[in-house]
Structure 1
Amino acid sequence: MNFDTGSLTYDDKGLIPAIAQDVETGDVLMMAWMNAEAIRRTLETGRVTYWSRSRQAFWVKGETSGHVQEMVDFRVDCDRDCLLLTVRQSGPACHTHRRSCFYTAVRGGDEVEILAPMA
């Protein structure tokens, strides 16, 4: 791997936000955190790997749920402090069983759920 993960801007915990976007629909699916090792693992395997802040452990998306994210493209923003991963998502991306974690909209000052859980 020739990509220099050290060229990225991480927070004080060594993490960088990573946004997952569906390659087919363009929908934003979720945001999670990566560190340099999670990035390396993702680029080497094609299976998106995040860093779980609550568990303090690596988290391969879909490893336990079966809702796998296969990386299609990996992008770095202009400030090098945020990542965009286009993915092929199998099943729901959100732990609430919705296609996207962004299922709550604010419309007219009220919160409205715009996505139901997947069957």
Structure 2
Amino acid sequence: MSEIEKLRADEFIHTLQFDSQGLIPAVIQDAGDQAVLMVGYMNQTSLQQTLDSGRVTFWSRSRKRLWTKGETSGHWLLVKNIYTDCDRDTLLIQAEAIGPTCHTNKRSCFSWMLE
């Protein structure tokens, strides 16, 4: 059985290793069956908004703005758990997906497999 260290939200953000652009990758996993749904990037503001609202919010690298998954589609990602890896430079967010996660209307953005 693995040991999970629990931190308060205000402590948690300050332990993370954001990259030179102030971003950290976030792997989104279905909290039920643990399927990987998508990967996005967060900055400190989007992570704090995620913690405050319970809905996953990313930093859009292309649009250079915050975006909450589901804000236009209604396909929300509701946070259940947030983990960090041992280097504290990647997040794993377990979420309940309300509707398809991918903009292609598929459950997961990972729908292509190498033969």
Note whether the superposition's TM-score is higher than 0.5: yes
Q: Secondary structure at the match of 1:40?
A: helix
Q: Secondary structure at the match of 1:2?
A: helix
Q: Counterpart in 2 of 1:11?
A: 19
* TM-score after normalising by structure 2: 0.89
Q: How far apart in 2 are the matches of 1:29 and 1:4?
A: 23
Q: Where does structure 1 differ by over 4 angstroms across 4 or more consecutive aligned residues?
A: none
- Greater Rg by CA: 1
Identity %: 46
Greater per-residue strand proportion: 1
Q: How far apart in 1 are the matches of 2:58 and 2:96?
A: 16
Q: How far apart in 1 are the matches of 2:94 and 2:14?
A: 22
Q: Counterpart in 1 of 2:73?
A: 65
Segments of 5+ residues of structure 1 without an aligned counterpart are 108-119
* TM-score after normalising by structure 1: 0.86
Q: Secondary structure at the match of 1:105?
A: coil
* Paired residues for 1:88-107 under 5 Å: 88-107=96-115
Post-superposition shift, 1:5? Answer: 1.6
